Amino acid sequence: MSGAGLQIKGVDKFYGPVDHGVHAVKQLSMEIAKGEIVALLGSSGCGKTSTLRMIAGFEAVSRGQISLAGREVHTFAPVKRNVAMAFEGYSLYPPLTVRENIAFALKASKLPQSLVDEKVAYIAKLLEIEDILGRYPSSISGGQQQRASLGRALIRDADLHLLDEPMGQLEPQLRAILRGRIKHYIKEKGLTAILVTHDQTEANALADRIAVMEGGVLQQFDTPQMIKERPANLFTGTFVGEPPMNVFDATVTVSGDTMVFGLNEGVRLEYAVSDFSPAVLAELRNRKKVSLGIRPYAVRREDGGVPARVSVSQWLGDQTHIAADFAGGTMVLVEHDRVRLGLGDMIALKLDPHNLHVFDGESGVAVSHGPELA
Amino acid sequence: METTSTLEKTLRLLALTLVVIFFMFPIFWIFLMSFQTNETILRIPPQVIFEPTLSNYTALITGKLTSAAGTLDIAFMKNLGNSVFLSVTSVALALVLGVPAAYAFARHKFKGSEDIAFTLLSFRFAPPLLVLLPLTQYFQWLGLANTYIGLIWVYQLICLPLILWIVRGYFEDISADVEYAYRIAGHSWFATFRRIALPLAGPGIAAAGLLAFIFAWNNFVFALVLASADKQPVTVGALAFVTSSGIQYGQIAAAIVLSVTPTLALALYAQRYLVEGLSLGAVKG
């Protein structure tokens, strides 16, 4: 796979003087195979858009290398990189119609007109913009502009497609339909794509792998499933997943056959030592403070569990979200049945050991996921 | 549509009429003056009814001014030609230099870029006379005094900052991503500048060019000091009507009418661009 796809090696981005300016992207290294779809996921200012712009060539790389299809491209002008991009702000050419905007992207490839028409028609059908092909960007809605912009990027036969928040302006239903179609189109044509988004549903639905970024640092680069099941650190654990993972500070004590997580307000979670692998036990013994994480879907109500006081209970039509005061914080749990609970009701919570994520209390790096080492 | 009462309409019309009269009256009066002889102009009280004469215009166009003291040569048509030539070439040069510079200032933040841009703007702060005295000396040393090249050069003090700062604003208003989208589709930055940035900033460039043209056309002091009679524009040339035997009001008025006409025609023709250009927002993608 090396050589064919995209390789980013030790890339730094400074705005302002190198080593003194704003350090937007820090020592980023990642490899994306040809034909893979990768999502850059993170909050605003996490460095994902800077990364995209460095790959496209709109921002200079302060340090490091970017190779695409076997060529070191980080010093190339954008025109030489053979990259297609859909911009967050659409950036259609105002004097051209939607059809011309989309067809325009093919101009450099010098295809015969009949083939261009065919391709435009195909993309327009895919994105449901056939009826606005003859109109000008200023006369269509934001969502339509966004689809036109997406079409202009997808129609090209580039080595890499960069999609910057490609569906942010679309209505939820259309977004769901287009996600599937776009993924199918990209896979069918064997395109390589990087998607920048802050919407984890979009990342999960479209991407083969997700790169989670925060503070300019790549936190984790893995499949959506692995990121959910085995978050590399506390940030990824709490950032990915809806509602977010519950996290509580805890101390660890192992004595005899039992291991105890001591939480605030005297809450004690007791487990048998045999619930964890010896390696996990050895790791946990060395730590005084940890952060204990559990996903809302994994929290069970069961008699004999730890008592908690309900503060919110909401039926969302397909699931119930319950928030309860627990160990000095709030525990959120999700149940698929309609649960009738009132404010102040007492419930008993059970946290199964195989659902526990343990993170280092200081660095936030994952120590264990369930019984296994991280 | 909101409905307006008759009273409101009347008041509006009245207010507009007052404004129009206030601004247009001097021009209207000069227009009337240009068809009168000095005697009818200087009548007291002034009268709107008179016998119109084209003698002022014929005097200007033929270049012969006959007065009580004899015949005087007037280089008015030559002056008019100078005005056109100086303004057009100055604005053209300022556009050629200023538009790419404005693009550079808008798109590329480099060390000291703001300082340079501000320095260029500051040319407009300095009182022209203060600049002119040393400049006259330098121009004499350089052999630029009383040449078209020297005048066009000095006119850049008027045109260049104006074009630079207005056009820069338009370029900044165009989303950089539109240009990026063009570049990534396989075009060089120069092609992007030519085919995307320039057309999108077109109305702004036209407006800035027109304003610069009017400023250049109306300039008086640079040409007064730096040019002799054969290179002077109409603004300076009109001084010739102040003769030893009196002031030729009729000819001055006719000269004003003739020299206002080109800018007025240009402004009317380019009105669409001016409104579009000066109201911004029109170039957003």
- Per CB-CB distance under 8 Å, the chain B contacts of A157 are none
Q: Which residue among B73, B88, B108 closes a domain?
A: B73
The answer to whether residues A7 and A67 touch, using CB atoms and an 8 Å cutoff, is: yes
A87 part of contact set with chain B, CB < 8 Å:
yes
- B243 falls within a domain: yes
Residues B136, B214, single domain; the answer is yes
The domain total for chain B is 2
For residue A93, give the nearest of B188, B189, B196 by CB distance: B196
Enumerate the residues of chain A whose CB falls inside 8 A of the CB of residue B186: 79, 107-108
Residue-wise pLDDT tens digits, B47-72:
777 888 888 888 888 877 666 666 76
Residue B283: closest CA among chain A residues belongs to which residue? A94
Nearest Cα of chain B lies from the Cα of A132 at a distance, in angstroms, of: 17
Question: How far is it, in rounded angstroms, from Cα B239 to Cα B227?
Answer: 14
Residue range A219-226: average pLDDT? 96
Which position has the higher pLDDT, B174 or A1?
Answer: B174
Is B136 found in the same domain as B160?
yes
Q: Is residue B41 part of a domain?
A: yes
Chain A contact for B107 (CB, 8 A cutoff): no
Distance from CA of B179 to the nearest CA of A (A): 8
What is the pLDDT, as a whole number, of residue B280? 53
Dist. CA B110–CA B116, nearest whole Å: 10
Mean pLDDT, chain A, integer: 92
Give dist(CA B171, CA B272) in Å, integer. Answer: 19
d(CA A81, CA B276): 37
Calculate what percentage of chain A has a pLDDT beyond 70. Answer: 99
Nearest-angstrom CA–CA distance, A336 and A68: 46
Residue B117, in any domain of the structure? yes
Point out the domain boundary residue: B48, B73, B98. Answer: B73
What is the rounded CA–CA span in Å between residue A341 and residue A320?
Answer: 10
Residue B180 to residue A95, Cβ atoms within 8 A = no
Q: What span, in angstroms and rounded, lies between the C-alpha atoms of A193 and A187?
A: 10
B120 in the same domain as B34: no
Domain positions in chain A: 6-239, 246-373
- Looking at the fold, whether B174 and B231 belong to one and the same domain comes out as yes
User: Could you tell me how many CB contacts below 8 A there are between chain A and chain B?
Assistant: 62
8 Å CB contact between A234 and A211: no
Residue B147 lies in a domain: yes
User: What's the confidence (pLDDT) of residue B282?
Assistant: 42
Place of tokens 């008699």: A303
- CA–CA distance, B164 with B211 (Å, rounded to integer): 12
Cα(B183)–Cα(A56) distance, integer angstroms: 10
User: By percentage, how much of chain A surpasses pLDDT 90?
Assistant: 82
Q: Which residue has the higher pLDDT, B175 or B96?
A: B96
3-state secondary structure chain A: CCCCCEEEEEEEEEECCCCCCEEEEEEEEEEECCCCEEEEECCCCCCHHHHHHHHHCCCCCCEEEEEECCEECCCCCHHHCCEEEECCCCCCCCCCCHHHHHHHCCHHHCCCHHHHHHHHHHHHHHHCCHHHCCCCHHHCCHHHHHHHHHHHHHCCCCCEEEEECCCCCCCHHHHHHHHHHHHHHHHHHCCCEEEEECCHHHHHHHCCEEEEEECCEEEEEECHHHHHHCCCEHHHHHHCCCCCCEEEEEEEEEECCEEEEECHHHCEEEEEHHHCCHHHHHHHHCCCEEEEEECHHHEEEEEEEEEEEEEEEEECCCCEEEEEEECCEEEEEEECCCCCCCCCCEEEEEECHHHCEEEECCCCEEEEECCEEC
Do A94 and B200 make contact, defined as CB atoms within 8 angstroms? yes
Domain range A6-239, CATH architecture: 3-Layer(aba) Sandwich (3.40)
Only one residue has tokens 């990026």, namely B180
Of B182, B184, B200, the CB nearest to A83: B184
Nearest to A34 by CA among A161, A123, A153: A161
Q: What values do phi and psi take at A89, rounded to 5?
A: -90, 20
Same structural domain for residues B83 and B64? no
Residues 101-130 of A with CB under 8 A from B: 104-105, 107-108
pLDDT value of position B174: 86
* Among candidates B175, B189, B199 on the partner chain, residue whose Cβ is nearest the Cβ of A91: B175
Pair (B50, B164) in one structural domain? no
A 44-73 near B (Cβ less than 8 A)? 56-58
Q: Looking at residue B283, what is its pLDDT?
A: 41
B21 and B154 fall within a common domain? no
Inter-chain residue contact A93 with B184, CB threshold 8 Å:
no
Is B187 within 8 Å of chain A by CB?
yes
Q: Which amino acid is at A340?
A: R
* pLDDT in the model for residue A1: 42
User: Distance (Å, rounded) from C-alpha A2 to C-alpha A68?
Assistant: 10
Confidence of residue B251 (pLDDT cuts 50, 70, 90): confident
In this predicted structure, the answer to whether residue B163 has a pLDDT above a threshold of 50 is: yes
Question: CA-to-CA distance for A33 and B243, rounded, in angstroms?
Answer: 88
Residue with tokens 């100086």: B86
Q: Is B175 in the A-facing interface, judged by CB distances under 8 Å?
A: yes
Among B20, B49, B73, the domain-final residue is B73
* Mean pLDDT within B91-115: 91
Q: From CA A38, how far away is CA A197, in angstroms rounded?
A: 11
Q: From chain B, pick out residues whose CB is under 8 angstroms from the CB of A77.
A: 183, 188-189
Phi-psi region of A270 (alpha: psi -120 to 50; beta: other; left: phi over 0): beta
pLDDT of residue A153: 94
Max Cα distance, chain B (Å):
75
- According to CATH, the topology of domain A246-373 is OB fold (Dihydrolipoamide Acetyltransferase, E2P) (2.40.50)
The residue segments making up the domain with residue B224 are 76-278
**Partner-chain residue, chosen from A57, A78, A137, that has the shortest CB–CB distance to B285:** A137
The enclosing domain of B245 has a CATH number of: 1.10.3720.10
Q: What confidence tier does B146 reach under pLDDT thresholds 50, 70, 90? A: confident
When pLDDT is averaged across residues B133-158 and rounded to a whole number, the result is 90
User: B184 contacts in A (CB within 8 Å)?
Assistant: 56-57, 78-79, 81, 83-85
Both B36 and B122 in one domain: the answer is no
Amino acid at A93: Y
Whether the per-residue pLDDT at A4 is higher than 90: the answer is no
- CB of A366 closer than 8 Å to CB of A296: no
Distance CA B112, CA B118 (A): 10
Q: How far is A315 from chain B (nearest CA, A)?
A: 43
Do B100 and B158 lie in one domain? The reply is yes
Token digits of residue B159: 């045109």
């990209």: which residue's tokens?
A186
Residues B155 and B271 in one domain: yes
Cis peptide before A112 (omega within 30 of 0): no
Do B253 and B235 share a structural domain? yes
Indicate whether A119 pLDDT > 70: yes
Using CA atoms, how far apart are residues B193 and B176, in angstroms rounded to an integer?
Answer: 11
Same-domain pairing of B51 and B91: no
Residues A278-335: tens digit of each pLDDT: 999 989 888 889 999 999 999 999 998 999 999 999 999 999 999 999 999 999 999 9
B chain contacts of residue A151, beta-carbon cutoff 8 Å: none
What's the rounded Cα separation, in Å, for the pair A352 and A296? 12
Identify whether B283 is part of a domain: no
